[in-house]
Structure 1
Amino acid sequence: MEDRPHVSAHERGVSKLSEYTLHDSSGAATHQKLADDLKDIAPDVGRYIVEFGYGEIYSRPGLTNQQRVLVTIASLVTQGTEREIELHVNTGLTAGLTSTEIVESLIHLIPYTGFPRVLNALYVVKKVFAQRQVETPQPGAP
């Protein structure tokens, strides 16, 4: 993270989050939608995501936005959290990941996570690709 003491974690978070957010969301899962959905029961969650998640963690140096999203998606697949996978596949596409990179990263998880979690994630990815009109990668073989 740059040494910018005059910039708050919130400001850093908003700036970084904008790099991952589709501004014309057209129904796509976004962090803002997540925060809006929870504001009646846990209004601070949105602030935590912006200030801690994006203002402190995602703003650190050393990884590209695309690398961060791949790590995040892999972790979410291992946890079986389909709603968050949908959110982060959207952020990954917005950050510049290709459909091939996303699908191949999931295939790579099969020996570590297992078929059921990867299959669930692939259905989520298929849904996001359809919503965003992303061309699916052509099947490949070793």
Structure 2
Amino acid sequence: MSTTRETGRQILGELMGPDYVEKKDKKRNSFNDVIQDYSEEVCFGRTWSRDGISRKQRSILNIAMLTALNRPAQLAHHIEGALTNGCTVDELKEILLQTAVYCGLPAAGEAFRVAEEVLRAGGHLD
């Protein structure tokens, strides 16, 4: 029987790749272990594992929310995850354009910059 933490780690690996999980584990210590457990158990093990909406839809929501919250480091990870979950470059562009209207141009401009870096690094842009 799988625990919610194991389920979360599996989903995290599927979204971000096994290297991401390994890197995350190497950074684990007696101080940050509680937030890592929370992320794996609650965010991925309980929420991302639900059937109510698709992983692609969850990625779209996260991109919009992380743009609104101005969280570029997390946004970069979730851009990668969105690609894994089937978002196209054109869809990402439209999601970020939509955030310009509701989150403001500075937030969307920063999100475009972050997304462009991720897309270039992944070979998705010229």
Scaled to the shorter chain, the TM-score interval is 0.7 to 0.9
CA distance in 1, matches of 2:77, 2:26: 14
How far apart are residue 47 of structure 1 and its match? 1.7
The corresponding residue for 1:3 is none
Secondary structure of the residue aligned to 1:19 is helix
**Paired AA for residue 15 in structure 1:** Q
The corresponding residue for 2:113 is 123
CA distance in 1, matches of 2:90, 2:29: 35
Q: How many residues are treated as equivalent by the alignment?
A: 126
CA distance in 2, matches of 1:68, 1:10: 19
Between the aligned residues of both structures, percent identity stands at 24
The Cα offsets for residues 26-72 of structure 1, whole Å up to 9 and x where unpaired, read as xxxx4654564463641222221111110011111111111101101
Give unmatched runs, 5+ long, in structure 2.
Answer: none
Q: Which structure shows the higher helix fraction? A: 2
The corresponding residue for 2:16 is 21
The answer as to 2:37 corresponding to 1:47 is yes
**Paired AA for residue 3 in structure 2:** S
CA RMSD of aligned residues (A): 2.0
CA distance in 2, matches of 1:49, 1:110: 28
Is the Cα contact below 8 Å between 2:79 and 2:118 reproduced in 1? yes
Is the Cα contact below 8 Å between 2:13 and 2:21 reproduced in 1? no
The normalised TM-score by structure 1 is: 0.78
Give unmatched runs, 5+ long, in structure 1.
Answer: 1-5, 137-142
Is the Cα contact below 8 Å between 2:96 and 2:108 reproduced in 1? yes
Larger radius of gyration: 1
Secondary structure of the residue aligned to 2:32 is coil
How far apart are residue 122 of structure 1 and its match? 0.4
**Paired AA for residue 20 in structure 1:** L
In the TM superposition, 1:49-128 aligns within 5 A as: 49-128=39-118
Secondary structure of the residue aligned to 2:39 is helix
Q: Which runs of 4+ in 1 moved over 2 A?
A: 30-41
**Paired AA for residue 122 in structure 2:** R
CA distance in 2, matches of 1:52, 1:106: 26
